Amino acid sequence: MKIYHNPRCSKSRDSFNLLTEKGFNFETIEYLKTPLKKEELKDLLVKLNIPAKELIRKGEADFKVNFKGKELSEEQWVEAMIQYPKLIERPIVVKGDKAVVGRPIEKVIDLIGK
């Protein structure tokens, strides 16, 4: 199990704490300190079963300045998240071949219950 985590984000901390409290062994990836590689991000999108555009945090300044109102291809959205990792929605919890964005936390609860 893995969590793509930003410790400054309360929702990310909630998921991290839930996994810890439940006693799960998991790998923590602070993706702002250790940016994702393109293939890793594409693999996450497959596990999340969503297009790249749905993983974008549209409230972020980087989005508003660089991408608001633009139509990008799947590959361009992936490149945008690689270049601006703050755009990636968080937290992402991965269990096996499935992943969820932990908003709301019930999504994480459902994932770890399976």
Which residues are the active-site residues? 9
The structure tokens listed for 40 are 């890793």
Query: Which amino acid does the sequence have at 50?
Result: I
Nearest residue to 2 via CA among 50, 63, 43, 57: 43
Query: Which amino acid does the sequence have at 111?
Result: L
The structure tokens listed for 49 are 């079963």
DSSP string, 20-72: HHTT---EEEETTTSPPPHHHHHHHHHHHTS-GGGGB-TTSHHHHHHTTT---
